[in-house]
A and B are shown apart, each in its own frame.
Chain A
């Protein structure tokens, strides 16, 4: 079967957080009224079934919170039901961090989320991980943009 590639999104941690420590999860981005693209449908379904596409960390930390684990568990269930969907977990560092430490921290966060999905029986080949460091600052929902047709889009995977 042909694999559909979805870039799963990201784990983010906004360090510009107004509150110290763990941030409140932001509201799930609105689902577009007209969804014509099957990948967007998948993406919307994924987000709806798993409670969101983002997970958050406390500043400077790559440790999964209980809330993050809950979302990842729901995502893992969805991913096991959709083995044709490949997802990419994108980690983000803190914007006030130094450049390279932010890259490493984003990669660590992405790896922790991916490892947890694999622990929950999602095939390793279905989930890849990468880091943006502090290169894509802003509200995490902004990350979910469709790529051009050759290299597929994005699904929010990591809640």
Chain B
């Protein structure tokens, strides 16, 4: 796969953040913060100016689309009547937006450079206080305007909610085609807005569970290429792929550590599945669990010090916690249902999992200490949750009534899950952290 790494040259002091806006949305609150988003402007004049304004309008619309996807921010529709001049980018008329009920305001500009690239600048303000919350700027090729706009959306999201945005992130999943029982499965990857869709594997062998490295540059997945399931690593820039371990052991359920340096995974030793950790570049794996039965689906805490995993050592699948060296293993779920496939949220506050009772599977969340268990979906076949960088939203797989898997996203606020648009059926989604 070709690299589409962005050359985002940040200018000035990157993003400066004051404390988040006072109108912060409480988790679970239904009300969204209203954001004013007048069309971005340009310092360019004449014919060039018109073209710059076209770019600026495009960026404005991209930001609007981004913010509409969130449940925390509600952008006012950009209106060309609200056009402002270049100096007003940094000196907006707050009273005007206050009157329209906006709590936040985004301004910005696009300027064409002599080398053909664009300078894009964005600013986010607290309208009530008349105070700047952050600014960000880039020099980009016109083709990368989309990513610069996503970065602006992320700035606004962080300014208002205090959480990192997930607009400039990627989603990997397994694209599925073909008849049931003979599915062709390929690892696919796309930007979280659906653009830049690409395939990482050719479809000649069954592949499962893509897991992106924190910055989205590498991808660990499971392939049946060698006759048994084994973890492989793909470098998304160079397209090179290699097995995680030498030999013919069965390995699966890989996940990167938050710093990208290690990979935790499951390996079969005879009839026993245990959890191991190994350097992301290989080396000798170290065994972390030894209990009889199935220990699998490990996921690191964001500080890398703990691992949550699933074990059926007590009879049914339940969630357990341990230190990253395997010490102090303890159970955190005690329900009559099965709890499996946990993933720790990037902010560390919650663990998402697949809840299973009989043939019903749903997505739930629980605090790391085992408190506050809550179901997020009411489907009959929902599984494989993966967190957005914002820690406020998840992607998951839902097998629909026709038996075909699709990818949905759901917010923590209790709103209905939304189906994502992808070219084929999809399973095992995985959401990256913010990219560089």
User: In the complex, are the beta carbons of B227 and A99 less than 8 A apart?
Assistant: no
Question: Would you call B116 an interface residue if the criterion is a C-beta within 8 Å of the partner chain's C-beta atoms?
Answer: no
Question: What's the Cα separation between A99 and B210 when bound, in Å?
Answer: 12
Residues of A within 8 A of B253 (CB): 100, 103
Dominant SS among interface residues on chain B: strand
Interface residue from B206, B224, B271, B383 paired with A98 (Cβ < 8 Å): B383
Residues of A within 8 A of B183 (CB): 135
Residues of B within 8 A of A101 (CB): 294, 296-297, 310, 312, 317, 340-341
> A105-142 interface mask toward B, CB cutoff 8 Å, 1 = contact, 0 = none?
10110011001000000000000001101011110001
Question: Would you call B268 an interface residue if the criterion is a C-beta within 8 Å of the partner chain's C-beta atoms?
Answer: yes
Question: Would you call B354 an interface residue if the criterion is a C-beta within 8 Å of the partner chain's C-beta atoms?
Answer: yes
User: In the complex, are the beta carbons of A108 and B294 less than 8 A apart?
Assistant: yes
Closest B residue to A130 by beta carbon equals B228
Interface positions, chain B 366-389, Cβ under 8 Å from A, are 381, 383-384
Interface residue from A97, A100, A112 paired with B252 (Cβ < 8 Å): A100
Residues of B within 8 A of A98 (CB): 297, 317, 340-341, 354, 356, 361, 383-384
User: In the complex, are the beta carbons of B341 and A105 less than 8 A apart?
Assistant: no
User: In the complex, are the beta carbons of A137 and B181 less than 8 A apart?
Assistant: yes
Residues of A within 8 A of B297 (CB): 98, 100-101
Interface residue from B180, B209, B272, B312 paired with A99 (Cβ < 8 Å): B209
Question: What's the Cα separation between A112 and B341 when bound, in Å?
Answer: 24
Question: What's the Cα separation between A101 and B275 when bound, in Å?
Answer: 12
Question: What's the Cα separation between A111 and B253 when bound, in Å?
Answer: 19
Question: What's the Cα separation between A111 and B292 when bound, in Å?
Answer: 14
Question: What's the Cα separation between A105 and B180 when bound, in Å?
Answer: 21
Question: Would you call B208 an interface residue if the criterion is a C-beta within 8 Å of the partner chain's C-beta atoms?
Answer: yes
Interface positions, chain B 103-161, Cβ under 8 Å from A, are none
Residues of A within 8 A of B384 (CB): 98-99
Residues of A within 8 A of B354 (CB): 98
User: In the complex, are the beta carbons of B266 and A96 less than 8 A apart?
Assistant: no
> B303-318 interface mask toward A, CB cutoff 8 Å, 1 = contact, 0 = none?
0000000101000010
User: In the complex, are the beta carbons of A108 and B273 less than 8 A apart?
Assistant: yes
Residues of A within 8 A of B229 (CB): 103, 130-131, 133
User: In the complex, are the beta carbons of A135 and B206 less than 8 A apart?
Assistant: yes
Residues of B within 8 A of A62 (CB): 271
Question: Would you call B270 an interface residue if the criterion is a C-beta within 8 Å of the partner chain's C-beta atoms?
Answer: yes
A133 with B181: in contact, given A98-B340, A99-B341, A100-B297 (CB under 8 Å)? no
A107 with B356: in contact, given A131-B250, A135-B206 (CB under 8 Å)? no
User: In the complex, are the beta carbons of B181 and A107 less than 8 A apart?
Assistant: no
User: In the complex, are the beta carbons of A138 and B181 less than 8 A apart?
Assistant: yes
User: In the complex, are the beta carbons of B341 and A107 less than 8 A apart?
Assistant: no
Interface residue from A96, A112, A137, A138 paired with B359 (Cβ < 8 Å): A96
User: In the complex, are the beta carbons of B294 and A105 less than 8 A apart?
Assistant: yes
Closest B residue to A88 by beta carbon equals B227
> B280-299 interface mask toward A, CB cutoff 8 Å, 1 = contact, 0 = none?
00000000000000101100
User: In the complex, are the beta carbons of A96 and B273 less than 8 A apart?
Assistant: no
Most buried by A among B252, B271, B354: B271
Question: What's the Cα separation between A104 and B312 when bound, in Å?
Answer: 11
Question: Would you call B428 an interface residue if the criterion is a C-beta within 8 Å of the partner chain's C-beta atoms?
Answer: yes
> B194-234 interface mask toward A, CB cutoff 8 Å, 1 = contact, 0 = none?
00000000000010110000000000001010011100000
Question: What's the Cα separation between A32 and B294 when bound, in Å?
Answer: 39
Question: What's the Cα separation between A107 and B185 when bound, in Å?
Answer: 21
How near does chain A come to B205, taking the closest CB pair, in angstroms?
Answer: 11
> A54-74 interface mask toward B, CB cutoff 8 Å, 1 = contact, 0 = none?
000000001000000000000
Question: What's the Cα separation between A105 and B310 when bound, in Å?
Answer: 13
User: In the complex, are the beta carbons of A107 and B250 less than 8 A apart?
Assistant: yes
Closest B residue to A112 by beta carbon equals B271
A111 with B428: in contact, given A101-B294, A142-B181 (CB under 8 Å)? no
A104 with B209: in contact, given A99-B383, A99-B384, A99-B428 (CB under 8 Å)? no
Most buried by B among A100, A108, A111, A115: A100
Question: What's the Cα separation between A13 and B272 when bound, in Å?
Answer: 19
A115 with B271: in contact, given A101-B340, A130-B227 (CB under 8 Å)? yes
How near does chain A come to B126, taking the closest CB pair, in angstroms?
Answer: 44
Residues of B within 8 A of A135 (CB): 183, 206, 208, 224
User: In the complex, are the beta carbons of B206 and A130 less than 8 A apart?
Assistant: no
A115 with B270: in contact, given A98-B361, A98-B384, A133-B208 (CB under 8 Å)? yes
How near does chain A come to B57, taking the closest CB pair, in angstroms?
Answer: 44
User: In the complex, are the beta carbons of B296 and A100 less than 8 A apart?
Assistant: yes
How near does chain B come to A78, taking the closest CB pair, in angstroms?
Answer: 23
User: In the complex, are the beta carbons of A96 and B268 less than 8 A apart?
Assistant: no
Most buried by B among A97, A107, A131: A107
Most buried by A among B222, B268, B310: B268
How near does chain A come to B109, taking the closest CB pair, in angstroms?
Answer: 47
What are some 7 contacts across the A-B interface (CB < 8 A)? A96-B359, A96-B381, A99-B341, A101-B340, A103-B229, A103-B253, A136-B181
With A100-B341, A104-B268, A133-B229 given, name 5 new contacts (CB 8 A). Answer: A96-B359, A99-B428, A100-B296, A101-B341, A131-B229
Which are the 8 A-B pairs with shortest beta-carbon distances? Answer: A111-B271, A104-B273, A100-B253, A104-B294, A130-B228, A96-B359, A98-B340, A107-B268
Which residues of A are interface residues toward B (Cβ below 8 A)?
62, 96-101, 103-105, 107-108, 111-112, 115, 130-131, 133, 135-138, 142
